[in-house]
Amino acid sequence: MTPQVIAVVGATATGKSDLALDLAEELGGEVVNADAMQLYRGMDIGTNKLPPDERRGIPHHLLDVLDVTDEATLADFQQRAEAAVVDILDRGRVPVLAGGSGLYVRAALDHLDIPPDGPAGPRPSRGGGRGRSGSRRPASSTPAGRPRSSRGHRAQQHPSDHPGPRGRRDHRSPLLGDGTHQALPTPFARHRSA
């Protein structure tokens, strides 16, 4: 039988945490956080993070693992989530992934091929020269170090560059940033490992 991982996903304040607790209690599972903001210590109220005394004694993973000054990358989350899931399965328990950060859930379940530095990766300084990594890039390359297209087409825009259903722009995404399409030459959907 293939090991099962349960994912409880959805919008804010829809009861994901309670359902995850019910499932973990019923199935002998443990909860793995998949909310980008609940990774941070001190972000309890703004993220509606369950306090320890409301977790029914069920182990929770990937909560409060970063300081608010730390940078969360998708690659780091994916590595931590996969390690937690394997650990839970190895102990004969059921991992219950819970959260509203869709790309984090996909990274944990779909084995996306994420560059180790995260979607944005290290960015060289503007105008050639040396980037954060100290390596030189050719003047004919993009900020992500890929050769410039001779066709001159525009890079794919980040979803936050477009108005949402009510005309508002989404400037909150800690996951994609404007470097995603620079670092990844193809859309995320094509980065699943075989």
In this structure, is residue 158 part of a structural domain? Answer: no
pLDDT of residue 108: 92
Q: DSSP 3-state assignment of 32?
A: strand
Task: Grade residue 111 by pLDDT with cuts at 50, 70 and 90.
Answer: confident
The DSSP 8-state label assigned to residue 42 in this structure reads: T
State mean pLDDT over 149-157: 37
In this structure, is residue 49 part of a structural domain? Answer: yes
C-beta atoms surrounding 99 within 10 Å: 27
Tell me the pLDDT tens digit for each residue of 171-187: 444 444 433 433 444 55
In this structure, is residue 74 part of a structural domain? Answer: yes
- Domain residues for the domain of 86 are 6-109
Tell me the pLDDT tens digit for each residue of 42-86: 988 888 899 999 999 999 999 999 999 998 899 999 999 999 999
What does the block give as tokens for 142?
Answer: 């993009």
Q: Which of 62, 12, 13, 57 minimizes the C-alpha distance to 34? A: 62
In this structure, is residue 115 part of a structural domain? Answer: no
The residue whose two tokens read 């944005």 is: 120
In this structure, is residue 95 part of a structural domain? Answer: yes
Give just the sign of the alpha carbon dihedral 56, 59, 63, 66: positive
Dist CA 108 CA 102 (whole Å): 10
pTM of the model: 0.61
What does the block give as tokens for 91?
Answer: 């102990």
Q: How many domains does the chain fold into?
A: 1
In this structure, is residue 130 part of a structural domain? Answer: no
Q: What is the CATH number of the domain that holds 98?
A: 3.40.50.300
Mean pLDDT of all residues belonging to the chain: 72
In this structure, is residue 78 part of a structural domain? Answer: yes
- Taking every pair of Cα atoms in the chain, the longest distance, rounded to a whole number of angstroms, is 59
In this structure, is residue 163 part of a structural domain? Answer: no
What does the block give as tokens for 5?
Answer: 């991982």
Are 35 and 62 a contacting pair, CB within 8 Å? Answer: no
